[in-house]
Amino acid sequence: MRIESLTVGPFAVNAYILANESTSEAIVVDPGADTERLLARLDALGLRVRSVVATHGHLAHVGGARDFVEAAARRSDAPSTPVPFCLHADDAAILASLPERALLFGLPPASPPGIDVELSDSATLELGDETVTILHTPGHSPGSVCLWIESERALLTGDVLFSGSVGRSDIEGSSATRLVGSIRERLFPLGDDVTVFPGHGSKTTLGNERETNPFLSGQLLGGDA
Ligand SMILES: [Zn+2]
Ligand SMILES: [Zn+2]
């Protein structure tokens, strides 16, 4: 599976394109903004979008999702084929608050997409002969998920885990205890060699974060994004 990131929007979110190059299908993760840029890249790679996944419901990650889903559906090979939007149901309330959040940040009016597929722990998303597994990793938000691509030893962590940091746990719906528990109990057991593709910032590995991330040593609480 090809994994490509594009940093989009005012919050510098890493949107991801997960592509099965033999079937020319893609899953797009966190299209927070910049629909045209994302579609141009998909076109350049000759990919059709099969689904859109949000790692969680925060504005930065879903602000452009409705626009993207609608535009991707218009461009798909069969124009009447909808592109499903996938989110964990525990972030439905956060998603619904998108218009107020956009207003608060002085951004153009935004409305959320409907949740077509509710993600749940251990659910799989098929992309041709390749598979993405959903891990429910609450803490930064109640419905935060990570995407595990075992064949590539790759993990998309959204705002759960960053290089040298973790997601914020001082905002409504977040919990530092749950966040650290999710990382220690669900992510670290996947193995030190796993490459982490976070929702903001640069790539890292689980081993590197396990050994050096100050937020996971019990000394610090807080985090970013
Ligand atoms: Zn977030
Ligand atoms: Zn974020």
Distance 140 CA to ligand 1 centre (A): 7
How would residue 170 be classed by pLDDT, with cut points 50, 70 and 90?
very high
Instruction: State pLDDT tens for residues 50-82.
Output: 999 999 999 999 999 999 999 999 886 666 678
How would residue 109 be classed by pLDDT, with cut points 50, 70 and 90?
confident
Distance 10 CA to ligand 1 centre (A): 14
Cα–Cα distance measured from residue 7 to residue 13, given in angstroms and rounded to the nearest whole number: 5
Distance 179 CA to ligand 1 centre (A): 12
Q: What angle do CA 166, 171, 176 make, to 5 degrees?
A: 45
Give the model's pLDDT for residue 108.
Answer: 85
| Closest among 31, 5, 6 to 85, alpha carbons compared | 31
Distance 199 CA to ligand 1 centre (A): 8
Distance 101 CA to ligand 2 centre (A): 13
Q: Which of 223 and 6 is assigned the larger pLDDT?
A: 6
User: Does residue 102 surpass a pLDDT of 60?
Assistant: yes
How would residue 104 be classed by pLDDT, with cut points 50, 70 and 90?
very high
Cα–Cα distance measured from residue 113 to residue 69, given in angstroms and rounded to the nearest whole number: 8
Distance 79 CA to ligand 2 centre (A): 31
Q: If you average pLDDT over every residue of the chain, what do you get? A: 94
Please give the order of strands across the beta sheet that includes 85-88.
Answer: 2-8, 13-20, 25-29, 48-53, 85-88, 117-119
Smallest-distance ligand from the CA of 171: 1
The structure tokens 């050994």 sit at 211
E strands, 41-192, are 48-53, 85-88, 117-119, 124-127, 130-136, 145-149, 154-158, 161-162, 165-166
Give the model's pLDDT for residue 130.
Answer: 97
Distance 172 CA to ligand 1 centre (A): 11
Q: What is the CATH number of domain 2-216?
A: 3.60.15.10
Give the model's pLDDT for residue 77.
Answer: 66
The percentage of the chain sitting over the pLDDT mark of 90, rounded to a whole number, equals: 88
Smallest-distance ligand from the CA of 225: 2
| Closest among 11, 8, 111, 12 to 28, alpha carbons compared | 8
Amino acid identity, residue 90?
D
Distance 11 CA to ligand 1 centre (A): 10
Distance 224 CA to ligand 2 centre (A): 8
Q: What's the predicted TM-score (pTM) here?
A: 0.95
